[in-house]
Structure 1
Amino acid sequence: MSNTLEAIHLLEDKIQTLLFNYEFLKKENEILLQSSTSFQHKILEQQQLIANQKVAYDTLKIAKTIDGSSTRDTKLKINTLIREIDKCIIQLQE
């Protein structure tokens, strides 16, 4: 009979330990999910910031091309663009 009681007490102790571990892991999982969500939001914000910076960089690059190097280079680029537009118009008319 005492062996049965000891087995029951041992089983109760193991169940209590399992329940404690379950609650601990459940709380830890919630914390990790919150952290994951927070990091995902930060990643999205950083991606938006990068996209905005890329647009600003491209705009600055275009402005530097038009304003910067020399009027000769700018005229050549504009003429190249005009020729490409003319080719497109000719293809559309055909």
Structure 2
Amino acid sequence: MSVIAEIIDTLENKVGKLFIKIKSLEKTNQDLKIELTTAAAIIQTQSQEIETLKKQYETLKIANTLLGSDENKRDTKLKINSLIREIDYCIAQLSD
């Protein structure tokens, strides 16, 4: 009978340790989920900032070319032609 009692005590100890380990792992999992959510938000913010900076860079390139710089002159001409086509299309739509 004492052998069975020892086995039961051992099982109870192991089950208790497993519950403690499960609680610890659940807390770690929750912490990691929060960290992941925070990291995703930071990445989203940085992606938006990068897009804004790219647009600003393109605008500055065009402005620099319009001010007389020979760099990126072709790109600026293409952009201006594209804008003119868009304006012409809008005028045509308004005329209809």
TM-score category by the smaller chain?
Answer: 0.7 to 0.9
Question: With CA pairs under 8 Å and 6+ residues apart, which has the higher RCO, 1 or 2?
Answer: 2
Q: Calculate percent identity across the aligned residue pairs.
A: 35
Distance 2:35 2:25 in 1: 15
Distance 2:81 2:37 in 1: 47
For 1:29-44, what aligned pairs fall within 5 Å after superposition? 29-44=29-44
Count of residue pairs brought into register by the alignment? 82
Distance 1:81 1:12 in 2: 80
Aligned twin of 1:12: 12
Q: CA deviation at 1:68?
A: 2.7
Q: CA deviation at 1:65?
A: 1.1
Which amino acid is 1:43 matched to?
A: I
For 1:41-80, what aligned pairs fall within 5 Å after superposition? 41-69=41-69, 77=77
Unaligned runs of 5+ in 2: 90-96
Partner of 1:16, secondary structure, is: helix
Aligned twin of 2:22: 22
Aligned twin of 1:92: none
Distance 2:36 2:81 in 1: 48
Which amino acid is 2:38 matched to?
A: S
Distance 1:64 1:52 in 2: 18
TM-score scaled by length of structure 1: 0.75
Larger Rg: 1 or 2? Answer: 1
